[in-house]
A = this chain, B = another copy of it.
């Protein structure tokens, strides 16, 4: 859908950088040349003015002001995953200039008559990365036969850093000379990697099968696979997706991701997150009948904690609760986790 090295524009109107998780993920982890960011509220600024941890790029008000690119990526999603009609002229301009358009919305661009007709006229592609492949099937139970070492990030809740941890680990592993691949299971991961399946959008019967197919397929090309987990085994709404990924991936090792200080499931305040050690044991107990796996490290998001001393104390407590090493892969880097995984390239 997007090839490594492609020049892209990333649309993030009104939300760049802090409410544009997809845009910043693509900037931080994508193997693309981000030529420009579209945010009409920040036009004239640069990425480097706002975030030191991201590669620099100019910010412009619209696609009409953007330099020539291969593709326009929609880098934000309103609640509900709809298409904001104020983006329509940017998408139209991109198509008319011969750019592909890539989106991870629930609303499919290819089902929009205006965009579909215009894309056909200009010979460009519209990629809706949340649309599941047509040919999925049930899992066969063979993911454990893949030669690659499979590491799955799991969580105590949604939005605990599973995607970030996955990509930080893959990057750090590659820096150590390990041939590491990523199995993306959500829209941002798919946009970063240019492949993958949004597992939450798949027919429930095929969810484990979709993950198994990626693990066996991508695993043939890498020594280590980092599989992006979703949701949580203790989440009232999304636990089914979580378990489908756990059983479908048949991982060799688990990394448990948690947001420091979070005590209840976000948006489900009646559901308390059990002590993290119990959550880890639950993942292991549920994995075991299909394929034994252990939590070998923890990832803690300490972004809400200041000063750094307090974050270090939270990390120590988290590691002690889990009985395994832990790190904040963004604040202190993923090396302690990678060491605990004891991967061989």
Q: How far is the CA of A272 from the CA of B291 in the complex (A)?
A: 10
Residue A84 at the chain B interface, CB threshold 8 Å: no
Cβ contact within 8 Å between A200 and B208: no
Q: Which of A141, A247, A289 has the most CB of B within 10 A?
A: A289
Complex formed: what's the CA distance from A89 to B289 in Å?
Answer: 47
CB pair B241–A138 under 8 Å, yes or no, is no
Residues of B contacting A239 in the complex (Cβ-Cβ under 8 angstroms): 208, 243-244, 247, 286, 290
The yes or no answer to A237 lying at the interface (CB within 8 A) is yes
CA distance A201 to B285 in the complex (A): 27
Is A141 a contact of B271 with CB atoms below 8 Å? yes
Q: Is A108 an interface residue (CB 8 A)?
A: no
User: Does A271 lie within 8 Å of B290, measured CB to CB?
Assistant: yes
Oligomer: number of copies = 2
Distance in Å from the Cβ of A78 to the closest Cβ of chain B? 16
Tell me how many residues of A have a C-beta within 8 Å of chain B.
41
A199 to B204, CA, bound (A): 7
Cβ-defined contact, A240 with B208, below 8 A: yes
Q: List 8 A-B contacts (CB under 8 A).
A: A141-B237, A141-B270, A200-B204, A204-B240, A204-B244, A208-B239, A273-B289, A274-B289
A317 within 8 A of B: no
Asked whether A236 lies within 8 Å of B204 as measured between CB atoms, the reply is: no
With A141-B271, A202-B204 known, 19 other A-B pairs at CB within 8 A are: A139-B236, A139-B237, A140-B236, A140-B237, A141-B236, A141-B265, A201-B203, A201-B205, A203-B204, A204-B204, A208-B238, A208-B239, A234-B290, A235-B247, A237-B247, A239-B244, A240-B247, A274-B289, A282-B285
Contact A237-B138, Cβ < 8 Å, known A199-B204, A202-B204, A243-B243: yes
